[in-house]
Amino acid sequence: MNHDTPTLLRPEEARALAARAFAYARADGTEITLSRQSTALTRFANNGIHQNVAEISTQLSVRSLIGGRMARASTNRLDDKAIANVVARAEELARLQEPDSEVLPLPEAQNYPAVARYVEATAQADAAWRARQVEAMVEVAKAEKLIAAGIAANHAQSYAILNSRGLEAFYQESGAEYSVTMTGDSSSGWAKGSAVDMAALDYRGGAERAARKARASADPGQIPPGLYTVVLEPAAVLDLLGFLIWDFSGLAVLDQRSCLTGRVGEKLFGDNISIHDDAGHPLQTGAPFDGEGMPRRQLVLVDHGTVQELAFARTSAARMRREHPNSAAQPTGHGFPLPNEYGEAPMNVVMRGGQTSEAGLLEGIERGVLVTRLWYIREVEPFEKLLTGMTRDGTFLIENGRITRGLRNFRFNQSVIEMLRQVEAMGPAVRASGEESFDMVVPALRVKQFNFTEVTRF
């Protein structure tokens, strides 16, 4: 990307495009979703860049409501013929559907909290800038006689929802991301980061952290599987927590496919566990409205171990009130664009942390394990959220409060619910990036009796 990149979608442009679509509409209700994004990525391996890609795309999507029926059609062309065709296609598809009593009229105009998540320099960063960040990471690898691989990426996106009842929602965002894996003869280390502003990311520092892990875990030892006190770095925490967060969906509870079915209001976790969903948090990203244009409300998902609130889209909130007359469920602004089969989910997760330092998390552990990150995680048993997966890129033995050597990786079988009952200490909450879930604001955790079931071959 460079300064010749087309500007993001402006509110006046979105209104003009929507007006053209509304002019062709004959449905009872019409929703127009517009997005424009530019993405660019530089990929490197074996200490050298091997790929650079960039893309700019614009999409117009139309959702039509006709007599209790609903359908959506999309196009990436914005000429009059294409707009007329996509509106006609959405209406044609809607007429082919069976009437659905759960289809609601479109929402009216809403008010949204202001968020500022666009940094021009980050949006406009070009391939030369990304190459310099890669160069800084590779320099670390060469100095440490390691092999580096990873990415440096940046993006800008704008998003708008307008409907025939007067709703207008607009959002724009920039972002930057890096990931680096350092590999030695017998070990590896990893680091990853993301932010709205590229200036908030320390590319060289991340590479140095990955290199230290690779060096410190060289010639790894082996200890038997079993129950250990573990220190989970934030990336590992979010990849485990991500499997639980989808269960805070009102629709999932209604369908009885959530582990929280029958457990809302129950003390399910430890006293020190509090989790919120907060689209306005300074370390979060994303629009302050959902896929229908409903404002995102801050949710208290867990308060001192007790399950408190669920996320609701308009449809699932209405269904909850209908099926449970004593319920006062209301839309919370967490729905995905309709139609969809998932309903809603909290996507701005903030877990309250503590004040324990990195050294403090190790203190008092006679024999334990530090885990940098996890991968290949799969759900084994949904009601207790039993997961299996493996450690990766920096697994270490802790002895008498100190890291003493690297370890061969483990397979684990661990209930996330049980894990959140066994948390002994927390570091400060930070914005974290992993590989198995979306970015969150979470702390590092010290957890007792974490269940490792097998030592891997590497």
Name all domains of the chain by residue range, CATH numbers in brackets.
11-203 (3.30.2290.10), 215-241+354-455 (no CATH)
DSSP 66-120: ETTEEEEEEES--SHHHHHHHHHHHHHHHHHSPP-TTPPPPP------------H
Q: How far apart are the first and last CA of the chain?
A: 39
DSSP H/E element including 54:
strand 48-66
> Which residues contact residue 380 at a Cβ distance below 8 angstroms, ignoring those fewer than 6 apart?
386, 387, 388, 413
Token couple for 4: 């010749």
Distance of alpha carbon 447 from alpha carbon 426, whole angstroms: 9
Region label for 416, one of left (φ > 0), alpha (ψ between -120 and 50) or beta (otherwise)? alpha
Q: Is the pTM of this model over 0.75?
A: yes
- Hey, is 126 helix, strand or coil? coil
**Full pLDDT tens readout for the chain, 458 residues:** 444 445 789 999 999 999 999 999 999 999 999 999 999 999 999 999 999 999 999 999 999 999 999 999 999 999 999 999 999 999 999 999 999 999 999 999 999 999 999 999 999 999 999 999 999 999 999 999 999 999 999 999 999 999 999 999 999 999 999 999 999 999 999 999 999 999 999 999 999 999 999 999 999 999 999 999 999 999 999 999 999 999 999 999 999 999 999 999 999 999 999 999 999 999 999 999 999 999 999 999 999 999 999 999 999 999 999 999 999 999 999 999 999 999 999 999 999 999 999 999 999 999 999 999 999 999 999 999 999 999 999 999 999 999 999 999 999 999 999 999 999 999 999 999 998 999 999 999 999 999 999 998 77
How far is the CA of 196 from the CAs of 118, 246, 283, 431, in angstroms?
7, 24, 9, 11
Residue 231's alpha-carbon distances to 186, 234, 351, 369, 443, in angstroms, are: 22, 10, 16, 6, 11
407/373 Cα distance (integer angstroms): 13
Reported as a single tens digit per residue, the pLDDT across 77-125 is: 999 999 999 999 999 999 999 999 999 999 999 999 999 999 999 999 9
Helix, strand or coil, per DSSP, at residue 201: coil
Residue 390 and residue 411 in contact, taking contact as beta carbons nearer than 8 Å: yes
DSSP state of 163: E
